[in-house]
Structure formats: structure tokens, C-alpha cells
Amino acid sequence: MAVAAALRQLGRPYVWGGGSSAGPTRGGFDCSGLALHAWARAGVRLTHYTGSQFRQGRRVPFSRLRPGDLVFFGGGTGDPAHVGVYAGGGRMIHAPRRGDVVKVTIFATSSYYRARYRGAIRPTG
């Protein structure tokens, strides 16, 4: 259900701070707003901050990722800086950056994303 909700937002513009449980705000989403919206459609409440979303579920090893899991990237040793909704097949749905749109990216074989991969969670409650 979370994946379907995220896929319905493909093409929406990236908007810093954008997104809510109800949908886009100011016309779009940022990465954590898209994750928050997708999981709200599945009945799970998340905060609108990547760092706290990283702590709002059960850790999932890369080898056990399932569609809907949240995948996190960057941030060095601090909070992750980016989140996407795992879509299966090494792909994620995400709102990458200003000037871009919500899209599907193959991250599992991307040297950029794999080097910045921080882990994944399966949201709970």
C-alpha cells in the first residue's frame, strides 16, 4: 500500500518541507514528506524528518528488503540526509532534490547511492 501511494506521486516536484499525510503541500514533496505520505496511506504515522524516521521502525538488513521499507542515505555519522520508499528490485521511489521530481531510481547498483547507504527500516505503529 505504501509503494502504491508513493507511485501515485511520480512526477510531482520536489518541494523543501513538502508533503503531509494527506498528500503534497505547496505542490510537492521532499523525501521525508513522501515517505510520511506513503506510510500514512498504509495507516502508519511517521514524523516529517528523515533522522527521526530512521528510528521509527525495525531495522531491516539489505538482503531482506521488502517493498515499502524505507531506505536511508548520507549524513555521515549523524542522521541520514535522504530517504526513499523501497519498490523492489533494487529500486526506490523518492523526491531527490530541488529542481527534480518524485521518481523511481535504481539505487542497489548505483555507485552514488550504495556508497551513501545507511540502512533500512520497516515502519511500525
* Half-sphere exposure (Cβ direction) of 5: Cα atoms closer than 13 Å: 24
- Which entry of 12, 37, 48, 82 is annotated as an active-site residue? 82
8-state DSSP, 12: P
31 carries an active-site annotation = yes
37 carries an active-site annotation = no
Rg (CA), the chain: 13
- Which entry of 31, 35, 40, 46 is annotated as an active-site residue? 31
- Which entry of 94, 102, 107, 120 is annotated as an active-site residue? 94
Closest CA to 97 of 108, 112, 77: 112
1 carries an active-site annotation = no
In contact, 72 and 62? CB cutoff 8 Å: no
8-state DSSP, 63: G
CB-based contacts of 71, cutoff 8 Å, min separation 6:
65, 83, 84, 85, 86, 92, 107, 117, 119, 120
Catalytic amino acids? 31, 82, 94
